[in-house]
Amino acid sequence: MGINFRKETFRDDFSFRNSPEQIRRFPFPFHEDSYMYAVNIEPHTPGPKNTVFEHLIDVDEHYISEMEDRALVLAEDPLRCQSLPHMTLAGWDLLELLMTQKAESYPEHFSLTRDGDNWHWINRPLGIDDRFTFGDVSTLPYGPMAYITRQSQGDFCVLDQRDGNLWMDAGIVTTQADWSLDFDIGMNFFEWHAPVPLAHDMGIFNRALKFLTNIQQGQPARRFNWTMTINPRLDTSPENYHKWGVDRTTVTPENVGQKVHLRVELQTFWRLPRSNALVFPIRCYLIKMDELVTSPKWARRFHRVLRDLPNELAEYKGLTRYRQTVVEWLSQYDDGAPTSSGFGPD
């Protein structure tokens, strides 16, 4: 059974919605009624059916529309996709990873046939049928990273590893919460983390760096991050702050259900085999408050998490302006009953 791809927008009329099935597979990030900032990394292994972990690279009903949104962003601002010259090999690694994973996990939508370096790629949802020579850039319409990430949901940071550090030397960033590839390109791990407030302890960064530089081939890892977005806007980049910053002031008790979204980012970490580079795909999942509260457990829990969130974290995540309105709205769904442990909707 194939995926039922939706036709929708992440801008202008914001017609983005989740189907009931998609709501049930939403990666709700709170396993208990409170939230503590922690760098909780776990192995990225395939998970249960009908979750976003069922396959290591998740494709969902928003695929086609997200790719259309990406094409719009890139047309306006080509610098959202950059690759320094030494990162081409890593681009081929990434192309191989994404094509093989997609073809294996979703054979009804994607197929890859390899005869040595002669590859044949079919992407049915996007109507792509291309033959090319692996390793020969001139046989693709874009560089390998750009080519495959225009066909893959989520942002991608490709990091070169040298001198015991990681360098943001390639990437495509069109759906990112509030940071800029063009600003970070060429920076190392410490430089690009410089603006993070709460975690000013260098020890945390040193441990994280050590963990990341030791990521092994065939053993990807993952972590979650969350924030909130007003209107289902994928592109909340600093470059576009003038477009979305003002959204934060538009939340009223009447429109919380439709306008306010929980935004969950699934970050995964992979070692790339030929280049020894790392790739961090960052996948963004959005859910409207109206959709979230269709699960009574999630409604109660999110109410408690948001209500009890320390102010500095709320500030850091940019929630301060509308948090109170949302907490009050959510409180009508919280009868004080206990919630079961775990992430699931029931």
Q: Which of the residues 34 through 63 are near other proteins (CB under 8 A)?
A: 41-43
Residue from 274, 311, 320, 324 in contact with other proteins (CB under 8 A) = 274
Nearer to other proteins by Cβ, of 221 and 286: the residue is 221
From the candidates 223, 233, 301, 323, give the one annotated as an active-site residue. Answer: 223
State the minimum distance, in angstroms, from the CB of residue 56 to other proteins.
14
Q: Which of the residues 200 through 239 are near other proteins (CB under 8 A)?
A: 210, 214, 216-219, 221
Taking CA 212 as the corner, what is the angle to CA 210 and CA 215, rounded to the nearest 5 degrees? Answer: 115
Coil, strand or helix at 225:
strand
307 catalytic per annotation: no
Does position 113 bind other proteins by CB under 8 A?
no
Stretch that binds other proteins, among 48-56, 79-87, 145-153, 257-265 (CB under 8 A): 79-87
Taking CA 55 as the corner, what is the angle to CA 51 and CA 61, rounded to the nearest 5 degrees? Answer: 65
**Cα–Cα separations (whole angstroms), residue 194 to 25, 170, 191, 321:** 34, 19, 5, 25
Stretch that binds other proteins, among 273-281, 283-291, 302-310, 337-345 (CB under 8 A): 273-281
Say how far apart CA 289 and CA 48 lie, in whole Å.
25
Which residue is listed with tokens 């702050």? Answer: 241
For residue 48, give the DSSP letter. Answer: -
Does position 297 bind other proteins by CB under 8 A?
no
Does position 87 bind other proteins by CB under 8 A?
yes
State the minimum distance, in angstroms, from the CB of residue 42 to other proteins.
7
Buried b (16+ CB within 10 A) or exposed e, 61-77: bbbbbbbebbeebbeee
State the minimum distance, in angstroms, from the CB of residue 201 to other proteins.
19
Q: Say if CB 306 and CB 313 are below 8 A apart.
A: no
Residue from 163, 201, 335, 346 in contact with other proteins (CB under 8 A) = 163
Nearer to other proteins by Cβ, of 216 and 249: the residue is 216
Helix ranges (H only) for the chain are: 20-24, 63-76, 88-105, 144-149, 181-184, 189-192, 202-213, 241-244, 256-259, 289-292, 296-308, 311-316, 323-331
Residue from 275, 300, 304, 305 in contact with other proteins (CB under 8 A) = 275
Coil, strand or helix at 2:
coil
Say how far apart CA 196 and CA 53 lie, in whole Å.
28
Does position 86 bind other proteins by CB under 8 A?
yes
Number of residues near other proteins (by CB under 8 A): 26
Nearer to other proteins by Cβ, of 78 and 273: the residue is 273
Coil, strand or helix at 224:
strand
Which residue is listed with tokens 């909780």? Answer: 40
Does position 291 bind other proteins by CB under 8 A?
no
State the minimum distance, in angstroms, from the CB of residue 253 to other proteins.
44
SS3 annotation, 134-166:
CCCHHHCCCCHHHHHHCCCCCEEEEEEEECCEE
Stretch that binds other proteins, among 73-81, 84-92, 149-157, 229-237 (CB under 8 A): 84-92
State the minimum distance, in angstroms, from the CB of residue 115 to other proteins.
14
State the minimum distance, in angstroms, from the CB of residue 26 to other proteins.
25
Coil, strand or helix at 43:
strand
Does position 89 bind other proteins by CB under 8 A?
yes
Residue positions annotated with a catalytic role: 223
Q: Binding residues for other proteins, per CB under 8 A?
A: 41-43, 84-87, 89, 93, 96, 135, 160-163, 210, 214, 216-219, 221, 273-276
